[in-house]
Amino acid sequence: MSEKKGRVFSGARPTGRQHLGNYFGAIKNYVALQADYECIYCIVDVHALTTMETTENIRQNTLEMALDWLAAGIDPQKSILFVQSQVPQVLELHTYLSMVSPLGKLSELPNFKEEVKNHPNNVNYGLLGYPVLMSADILLHKATVVPVGIDQQSHLEFARETVRSFNYRYNTDVLIEPQMKLTEFPKIIGTDGEAKMSKSLNNHIEMAFTPEETVKVVMT
């Protein structure tokens, strides 16, 4: 067996059954990375709470998402797959990292500004501290490589800066600075032929659809 190139960490919010946009946008890449890397994949249910108004479906969404990831080829013999809330050490590390996370820096990150625009009536610390929790996810598992799209680039750079700040303040080298693996996530057009495939727009094709269900959705 060839030596692995490093340890990959990546996660996604529990959105339930996955569609073709999810597959070609991320899951296919997750599966491919298993050949060369030690992979750790996480369903980040705590992150989901930052914008969810109800947790009614979060458990079911998590289970369905895990099923689709496994069915797509994420192999438990090659990768670790877990649910974020089941590892309390993530939240503990998040608390420590928050001590070296400048408020001004967090409030200026592009993703936070975008979320404030999209959720003006639900601007909470969870949104502001999202990059701190994301950093905890990555750093707790000592990931050396993190695949990100352009939209998450600033968050990973924040994580790298956090490592330097934490290690300097506490005179340690316990945290590892992860490398960024910029990944192009293709935009899959939905069944309406116009917008990006999305559940919220009801223009998606689920991975679990039967051939008959797929034809029905496409022809509608």
Q: What's the mean pLDDT in 129-144?
A: 97
Statement to judge: residues 109 and 182 lie in one domain:
yes
Statement to judge: residues 17 and 57 lie in one domain:
yes
Helix (H) or strand (E) holding 12: strand 7-12
Contact by Cβ (8 Å): 43, 84: yes
**Residue 179 belongs to domain spanning:** 7-188
Question: What is the rounded distance in angstroms from the CA atom of residue 35 to the CA atom of residue 39?
Answer: 9
Question: What is the rounded distance in angstroms from the CA atom of residue 145 to the CA atom of residue 37?
Answer: 9
User: Is residue 1 included in any domain, yes or no?
Assistant: no
**CATH code at 159?**
3.40.50.620
Statement to judge: residues 118 and 198 lie in one domain:
no
Is 136's pLDDT higher than 70? yes
pLDDT tens-digit map of 148-200: 888 889 999 999 999 999 999 999 999 999 999 987 777 889 999 888 898 88
Global pTM? 0.90
pLDDT tens-digit map of 94-103: 999 999 999 9
Is 71's pLDDT higher than 70? yes
- Name the residue among 183, 182, 151, 186 with its Cα closest to residue 21: 186
Statement to judge: residues 130 and 217 lie in one domain:
no
Statement to judge: residues 70 and 176 lie in one domain:
yes
Statement to judge: residues 33 and 140 lie in one domain:
yes
The residues near 99 (Cβ < 8 Å, ≥ 6 apart) are none
Statement to judge: residues 215 and 153 lie in one domain:
no
Percent of the chain at pLDDT > 90 equals: 68
> Which band of pLDDT confidence, cut at 50, 70 and 90, is reported for residue 2?
low
Statement to judge: residues 184 and 194 lie in one domain:
no
Using DSSP bridges, classify how beta strands 38-43 and 7-12 pair: parallel, antiparallel or unpaired.
parallel
Statement to judge: residues 58 and 142 lie in one domain:
yes
> Which band of pLDDT confidence, cut at 50, 70 and 90, is reported for residue 220?
confident
Is 1's pLDDT higher than 50? no
Question: What is the rounded distance in angstroms from the CA atom of residue 220 to the CA atom of residue 217?
Answer: 5
Total residue length of the chain: 220
Statement to judge: residues 77 and 67 lie in one domain:
yes
* Tally of structural domains, the chain: 2
Statement to judge: residues 183 and 130 lie in one domain:
yes
Q: How many CB atoms lie within 10 A of CB 59?
A: 12
User: Is residue 19 included in any domain, yes or no?
Assistant: yes
User: Is residue 2 included in any domain, yes or no?
Assistant: no
User: Is residue 62 included in any domain, yes or no?
Assistant: yes
Mean pLDDT of the chain: 92
Statement to judge: residues 100 and 132 lie in one domain:
yes
pLDDT tens-digit map of 3-24: 889 999 999 999 889 999 999 9
* Range with top average pLDDT, 117-121, 173-177, 204-208: 173-177
